[in-house]
Amino acid sequence: MASLKNSPALYKGLFFNVSSCKQVPACIHGNSCRKTNYSLQLRAEAFTSTQQDKFLETSRRCVLSLGAMVTCISFWQANPASFAADAKKGFQFASDKNNGYSFLYPFGWQEVVVQGQDKVFKDVIEPLEIVSVNMVPTIKQDVRELGSPKEVADVLIKKVLAPPSQKTKLVEASEHDVDGKVYYTFEFIAQAPNFTRHALGSIVIGNGKFYTLTTGANERRWEKMKDKLHTVVESFKIVSV
C-alpha cells in the first residue's frame, strides 16, 4: 500500500492540482465569518381550509418544528437507514443531496459561509466549536489507496487542517466501514500561540471526491464537548449520487 506521507506524487494525486487548492480559511481557526441568510418556507396551498386556520393559530416555534419534521420525513422516505441518527436529541441534521453527504451538528450552531468550504456550522459564542465539510476531486476509489489511517491523517493535519505556524499532534487514527464504504477517523491537537484546539476528523472517498469533515473545540472545553463532537464525526455519511 502506497504511503501518502512519503509520496509527494500521491499527495498531488489526492488533491488533483495542489496549486488550486485553498488553505483552510481563517474562520476555521477561530476568526469571525459572514453568516448566511436562510429561511424556512412552507407552502400554504398544500393545506385544506381547516388546516390553514389551525396552522395560522400556531406559534412560530411550532412552525419551525413542523418544518423540521417535514424535512425528517422527506429524508426518511429516501434514506430510511439514516432516520435513527437524524432523530438524535440535541442535534440538527444537515445534508447535501447534490454532493451526497449528511451529518449531525449540535443544536444552536449556525451556518456560516467560509470560502473554500462546502458547508460550515459553528457556535456563535465559542469560535473554535465548529464543523466543516470540504471536498476535492480524486481519481482514487478507496481511502485505503492513500495509505494507513495514521499516514493519511498525519499529512492532512500538517498540510491542510492546521497552518504551518501551529504545532500539531495526532492523538489517534482508525478505520471503520459504513455501508460498504471505508472511513478514516482521527483525533488531533493543534497548538497556536494564544489557544489550543482539540479536533476530530473523518475522511472518505466516493462519487469521485475526497470528503473531509472536521470538528473541534478549545482545549479548555474539550471534556465538556467531546461526546457531542464524537457524535458529529460518527454521523458523517456519504451516499452515491
Q: What is the CATH number of the domain that holds 159?
A: 3.40.1000.10
Domain membership flag for residue 17: yes
CA angle, corner 75, sides to 100 and 217, nearest 5? 65
Pick the more confident residue, 40 or 99: 99
Domain membership flag for residue 50: no
Domain membership flag for residue 61: no
- 231 has pLDDT over 50: yes
Q: How many CB atoms lie within 10 A of CB 223?
A: 10
Cell numbers 385544506 correspond to what residue? 48
Residue 15, H or E segment: helix 8-15
- Which residues neighbour 182 within 8 Å (Cβ) at sequence distance 6 or greater? 142, 143, 144, 175, 176, 204
CA angle, corner 57, sides to 54 and 63, nearest 5? 90
Domain membership flag for residue 101: yes
196-205-80-37 Cα dihedral, nearest 10 degrees = 50
Domain membership flag for residue 209: yes
Domain holding 174, by residue range, is 8-38+81-238
- 79 has pLDDT over 70: no
Q: Please give the tally of structural domains in the chain.
A: 1
Domain membership flag for residue 58: no
Domain membership flag for residue 75: no
Q: What is the pLDDT of residues 192-218, one digit of tens each?
A: 999 999 999 999 999 999 999 999 999
Domain membership flag for residue 49: no
Q: How far is CA 91 from the centre of its chain?
A: 13
Percentage of residues in the chain with pLDDT exceeding 70?
Answer: 64
What is the chain's alpha carbon radius of gyration, rounded to the nearest angstrom? 19
